Amino acid sequence: MQITSKKPQIQDNQGGPETKGQSSTSGFTMVEIALSIAIVAFAMVAIIGIMPTGFEAQRLNREETIINQDGTLFMEAIRSGALGFDTLTNFVDSITISNHMGNLRSVGVAERVNDFNQAVPLVNAHFILGMLSTPHLEVVDVRRNGAVIYSTNEVSAMVRAISGSAGERFQVSDFQENSFSYLLSTKIVPYLPSPTNSFHQNSVPITTNRFSLATNVATNLYDVQLKFRWPVTKVQIGNSGRPDIQYRLGKYEKIFRTLVSGRLLSTNGVPFLRENDSRNDVPLYYFNSKDYTPPAL
């Protein structure tokens, strides 16, 4: 027995047969579309909100990396007395030394610096490291009674980043403002341990070896501290013809510190300046780790 089935036929308007097929269309409902838009909007808000924080963290990490690298470089240059490190002339804009007596030493190529007759040019590392190695306590006079008069020096330098992106190493002054800059302050003081346990009861210290050791340490060991503060922003105040330049420091700072053994020698600008040049009166200092000062007995 054979059973056959036929599809139902419907007669169209023309009177001909028309087969009724099964056809369907699928799509998103309004609820699904609204839910998708909400998810995308939430993701965009999250990305836009987090992106500035990520950029800020990346910038701070980059700046701190530059400070770490430049700090190591300056520390090694100062402690070794690298007077041939002339590459510093491309990055150190100015150096200023001030003290409580009102004396001001300014060197460099920054605004208004070269207006002073005593301005020492930053033409090589002999002047740059010689100024940065200026001791915090400088002997200015010795009285007849043996009293030593010291001058307290504050040394600061305006420096553009040495490490970092090569695109920021501009030699043209118009583009140097776009590079990352920081203020470097140096502080060099002699390491003076008090030999209180090296005295006899009769106050004759020379007979003890511990006092001799303490005297050697006092004259041949120095505490070197480098303080970096960043970022530095240049602000012009006054008329456009001859504006006053001020620098504003950011809130970030980092300190490098070490002990340096050897002699802190004093020199001047000879042979880079003529012997009769008045700028030779500005003392320059550098460390010599191969030579030591014998203690005064």
What pLDDT score does 230 carry? 94
What pLDDT score does 121 carry? 75
Could you report the average pLDDT of every consecutive run of 10 residues in the chain (297 residues)? 53 55 68 89 85 83 94 95 88 83 54 47 87 88 73 90 77 68 94 61 59 74 95 75 73 94 88 80 87 64
At 71, which helix (H) or strand (E)?
Answer: helix 30-80
What tokens were used for 12?
A: 């169209």
**41 phi and psi angles, rounded to 5 deg:** -65, -40
Q: Which of 261, 296, 269 has its CA nearest to residue 285? A: 269
Query: Rounded to whole angstroms, how far apart are CA atoms 160 and 11?
Result: 91
**244 phi and psi angles, rounded to 5 deg:** -85, 135
What pLDDT score does 260 carry? 93
Q: Which of 223, 169, 174, 181 has its CA nearest to residue 94? A: 181
Half-sphere exposure of 189 (CA within 13 A, CB side): 14
